[in-house]
Amino acid sequence: MVTITCVRGDITQQHVDAIVNAANSSLLGGGGVDGAIHRAGGPEILDACRDLRASHYGKGLPTGRAVATTAGRLPARWVIHTVGPRWSNSEDRSALLASSYRESLRVADELGAMTVAFPAISTGIYGWPMNDGAHIAVATVREAKTTVREVRFVLFDEPAYAAFTAHLGL
Ligand code: ADP
């Protein structure tokens, strides 16, 4: 069974097999976690993303899907890029957010990753309310069938950490 842990910190500094990137569908860089990962990991990650755009993902990575690359200079071995949905007031996109977590774990399983760190996908530039984002993250990982041993949620600030610990019952 997967053990779920929660820390406050920077996902680029995590010593885990794979870290998950809250990417955008272009895979060619953005702000937030994505910017931090490319800055800390170096150009090898962007090169791998460009290769993906030139091969399997010509139109970009669809929302709710995930794909792995090298982690470049990061302590992790792989970066799993996933595209969360933008928050919408008029449409319920929860299933896509759950899919981002589930698909990331499926890719982690394919890689044989035992430890995986996730950020709070969609809760930054994409505007998802933190409490609801934390609820979907925790519920989806709890229900996932995965060979990953540890899922570590890495939260950047205190409100995010508080939301995740509350949903985890910590
Ligand atoms: P999205 O576009 O999916 O909303 P963002 O990268 O803008 O993605 O934000 C997702 C979450 O990651 C936000 O809660 C943000 O505060 C957090 N975050 C930003 N930088 C880091 C980092 N270096 N490590 C962990 N979490 C981060």
Instruction: Find residue 83's DSSP bridge partners.
Output: 23
Give residue limits of the domains in the chain: 3-168
The pTM score is 0.98
Q: Is residue 153 predicted with pLDDT exceeding 90?
A: yes
Q: How far from the centroid of its chain's Cα atoms is residue 41's Cα? A: 15
Instruction: Tell whether the torsion through CA atoms of 74, 50, 110 and 36 is positive or negative.
Output: positive
Instruction: Tell whether the torsion through CA atoms of 31, 55, 115 and 73 is positive or negative.
Output: negative
**Residue ID of nearest Cα to ligand 1 atom 15:** 124
pLDDT reported for residue 100? 99
Fold of 3-168: Leucine Aminopeptidase, subunit E; domain 1 (3.40.220)
Report yes or no: 2 and 146 within 8 Å, Cβ to Cβ: yes
Q: Is residue 1 predicted with pLDDT exceeding 90?
A: no
100 lines ligand 1 (CB under 6 A): no
Question: Which mutation among 8, 25, 33 tests ligand 1's pocket best, with the greatest number of atoms within 8 A of CB?
Answer: 33
Mean predicted confidence (pLDDT) in 23-45: 96
Calpha distance 135→39 (Å, rounded):
29
Q: Is residue 134 predicted with pLDDT exceeding 90?
A: yes
Calpha distance 162→90 (Å, rounded):
27
Backbone angles phi, psi at 103, to 5 degrees: -65, -35
121 lines ligand 1 (CB under 6 A): yes
The pLDDT-based confidence of 47 (bands split at 50, 70, 90) is very high
Selection from 101, 74, 79, 80 nearest residue 15 by Cα: 74
Q: Which residues contact 67 (CB under 8 A, 6 or more apart)?
A: 27, 52, 56, 57, 61, 80, 81, 82, 107
pLDDT reported for residue 15? 98
118 lines ligand 1 (CB under 6 A): no
Helix 43-54, helix 32-41: angle, nearest 10: 110
